[in-house]
Structure 1
Amino acid sequence: MKARRSTTGLPRAEGDATQGRRNPLGATTGRRSRVRSWPAADSRKRTAARQRAEEAELQQGVRYRRAFVVLLGAVIAVSALVVLLGTVGLFTETRSRPLTSAEQSRYQQEEIARRWQAWPATGVFPEEVRYLGLDRAQQYARRVGIAPETECGKGVDASVAGVLQNHGCVTLLRATYIDQTATFVFTVGVAVLKDEESRVSAGEELTQDDRVGVLPVAFPGTVTERFGPDQRQRTSWVGAGPYIVFSTGGYADGRTRAAIPPEEILHSELWPAAKSIGNQIAYFLADPPTVPPCTQGNVC
């Protein structure tokens, strides 16, 4: 029996039992496969390990999420508390409530201190001012004119000017009046100090000399045109709030102080009238205002 050569060049018997028997992949049935298969148990272990890793990662994500939710909740709670406290504080601060004694006093002081600016000039110096004449008869002085606002040092005598300037005098307002019979002339000056404490300090240093004080203001073409420094018979002042109100008086006919006997001055109606007019204007300026009972008006 002849032997056949195989395609590899090796002789092969014709009656070889393996001839023609090949597996579907083309390899002979008797040849051992080179691919090594993994046991099924190893595959299960890998799957289980992968599942455990995924579960651990999932649990870690859940923990992180819980921590984030707790932190976010704490931030929101703190923010809400801050907003609530701020709202309560703002409401407490701005709600209407009764004024304390200190607040009422401060309200009055501030109201009085701004009157020289808040009021018109005719409010500071009314057109008519009541005064007491002889036998305490009630009479009225009439305003002739209001002088322009001036520096404190320019509307008073030099000795008075130094005191006012040393204590923070802001400005000086002046107006001139005549009595009901047009016999006497009066000039009233309002020195505005920065506050009531300054006014008290300045008053302690002002001289009691009745020859110095506010300088007269004369208005040409009126009965006051002859009223000058030499015509002043006496001067005086009174304190009210942050104001020092000066007053001086003389005769409309131009008589000087030197021309009037001292006893006549002492018994004349002129000086009581001058003081009364100054006191009236001081009273207007420092009259305590009505204080509202609450911080936002009359309703608490």
Structure 2
Amino acid sequence: MRAWPPATGAKATAVRERAEAAALRQGVRYRTIFRALLAGIIALSAVIVLTGTVGLFSETRARPLTVAEQNRYKQEEIARRWQAWPATGVFPEEVKYLGLEKATQYARRVGIAPQAGCDKAVDQAVAGVLAEFGCVAVLRATYVDQTASFVITVGVAVLKDEEARASVTEQLTLDDRVGVLPVAFPGTVSERFGVEQRQRNAWVGAGPYVVFSTAGYVDGRTRAAVPTEEILHSELWPAAKSIGNQIAYFLADPPAVPPCTQGNVC
């Protein structure tokens, strides 16, 4: 079979130039596609970074607090007071109350008891309700009135939130014979104050707290020894309730809320 002679001279040069031109055009196309893809990736990345930066700036820049944020700030501040405040902040040295004829008087703190478990600081009928809704702890302190005639123990039951506290107060018994267990301090006017000496018990809700109060006589007389008509003492019980209410007010008093997310300047 006859073989074709190899291309030489001008013909070979033309073939090589066409091949080189085709390869060059293909390279240009690939490079153009690559540049377009790279530009698209860079543009997309820039958009993502810019969007994230704008979002971050929007989230972190100072702005006025919404009503919901203001309420949450208040709730969180009140809820942490039992731990954030010193014991003397929860139970001030002196507590104002109204005596006979609405005269302003001051009860003096006798002592502050160690923090107790919710089942150790109240009667069992109350402990069951507190446990059901997640009671955290009970703080207690004992006061003596200005005339040194009455002794009052105030107990603060700490619940996990205000909703739990509301559930507790809906189910607490109205029996005034049960409530917080009294705390006596030996060598003080409160040393005779025990369970049998409690004349009455009460409670009031405040934020995530239930503030209990119980009162008796300094001389140690028991409830059983007091005639029924004298249990509603015109001085003893109003003073005890007033002191408990004052402690509750201190704990749940709404704090000042900063107007902006980063302080006072938006």
Give the distance between the partners of 2:103 and 2:127, measured in 1 at CA: 35
CA positional deviation for 1:243:
0.2
Give the distance between the partners of 1:261 and 1:113, measured in 2 at CA: 41
TM-score, structure 2 normalization? 0.96
Q: Deviations over 1:251-295 (max 9, x none)?
A: 000011122222223243000000000000000000001111111
CA positional deviation for 1:165:
0.6
Give the letter aligned to residue 56 of structure 1: A
CA positional deviation for 1:42:
4.2
Query: Which structure is higher in RCO with an 8 Å CA cutoff and minimum separation 6?
Result: 2
Give the distance between the partners of 2:231 and 2:116, measured in 1 at CA: 30
Q: Is 1:224 paired with 2:190? A: yes
Give the letter aligned to residue 224 of structure 1: S
Give the letter aligned to residue 225 of structure 1: E
Give the letter aligned to residue 66 of structure 1: T
Among 193, 202, 207, the residue aligned to 1:236: 202
Equivalent residue runs for 1:123-134 within 5 Å: 123-134=89-100
Q: Is 1:190 paired with 2:156? A: yes
Q: Look up the match of 1:53.
A: 19
| Bigger Rg, structure 1 or 2 | 1
Among 95, 110, 114, the residue aligned to 2:61: 95
CA positional deviation for 1:61:
1.0
Percent identical pairs in the alignment equals: 76
Matched length: 262
Q: Is 1:264 paired with 2:209? A: no
CA positional deviation for 1:66:
1.1
Q: Deviations over 1:198-228 (max 9, x none)?
A: 1111111111011110010000000100000
Q: Look up the match of 2:140.
A: 174
Q: Is 1:81 paired with 2:47? A: yes
Q: Is 1:213 paired with 2:156? A: no
Give the distance between the partners of 2:132 and 2:18, measured in 1 at CA: 92
TM-score, structure 1 normalization? 0.85
RMSD, aligned α-carbons? 1.3
SS in 1 for 2:189: coil
Give the distance between the partners of 2:185 and 2:232, measured in 1 at CA: 27
Give the letter aligned to residue 213 of structure 1: G
SS in 2 for 1:154: coil
Give the distance between the partners of 1:78 and 1:167, measured in 2 at CA: 52
Give the letter aligned to residue 169 of structure 1: C
What residue ranges of structure 1 are gaps of 5+ in the alignment? 1-37
Q: Look up the match of 2:218.
A: 252
SS in 2 for 1:186: strand
Equivalent residue runs for 1:133-144 within 5 Å: 133-144=99-110
Give the letter aligned to residue 29 of structure 2: R
SS in 2 for 1:249: strand
What residue ranges of structure 2 are gaps of 5+ in the alignment? none
SS in 2 for 1:191: strand
SS in 2 for 1:152: coil
SS in 2 for 1:169: coil
Give the letter aligned to residue 202 of structure 1: V
Give the distance between the partners of 2:175 and 2:133, measured in 1 at CA: 20
Task: Call closer, same or farther: CA 1:237–1:268 in 2, change over 3 Å.
Answer: same
